Amino acid sequence: MANILIADDSPFIRTAYKRVLETQADFVVAAVCEDGFEAVNKCSELQIDVAVLDIRMPRLDGISASKTIREKNPETSIVVVSAYDDWSYVNDLIETDSKAKAYILKNSLDDIGELIRAVRKVMQGYLILDNALIEKLVGYYERHSAESGNLSERELQVISRGCRGMSVQEIATDMEISPEGVETIQDLIEEKLDISGEDYLSIQSNSTKAFLNLCVALSLE
């Protein structure tokens, strides 16, 4: 069973998330909080597996709360739900620790399965970005490809799927290529983005973070 904490200053949102998550037999909503300060305290009191945090809350915002929660409870996975598709918020979230975290836009949660998927993926250790944010990053990179380097269309396809938290097998199935083909493309991405990792989860989070940082750097030029 996974113990989940929900923190949002909206009673309606708290109730909605609780109802969605409790449709899963292996999810238990162990705490519901009104702000980030309360969320930090509850995570210290309870064995919370996943904290679902709004980004804008009284007393302590979701990004700051996530950092404190992870400092005190390194095994707690984080899902930040935001109305803002601002890269700076994502950078703040993953600046020091990028594994087992998700940044999801609120309008994506019109599909109730998206919140469930995000929770399950961070529990597996993935770094997840919202689909709309990924499309924005890929589009920005493509528009500035002359200045930004030589990532191929195929490599961008693998990166974008990796940013969604897809496994090698899931990427292979979605792209209709072999898992070995995905791994070969991933090797090229690692070389071009100058990243490494002990396992696929490390590579996935590092490549996602590196691609985000690349796009942010381009936007500042």
pLDDT digits (tens, 9 = 90+) for 150-206: 788 899 999 999 999 999 999 999 999 999 999 999 999 999 989 988 889 999 999
Tokens encoding 212 = 């985000």
All residues at 6 or more sequence positions from 195 whose CB lies less than 8 Å from its CB, including other chains: 189, 203, 206, 207, 210
CATH number for the region 2-129 comes to 3.40.50.2300
Neighbours of 198 (CB within 10 A): 7
Class of the 133-220 domain?
mainly alpha
Tokens encoding 195 = 């990243």
Q: Which residue has the higher pLDDT, 213 or 104?
A: 104
List phi, psi (to 5°) of 60: -150, 125
Domain ranges of the chain: 2-129, 133-220
Q: What angle do CA 114, 157, 194 make, to 5 degrees?
A: 105
H/E element holding 39? helix 36-45
Q: Do domains 2-129 and 133-220 have the same CATH topology?
A: no
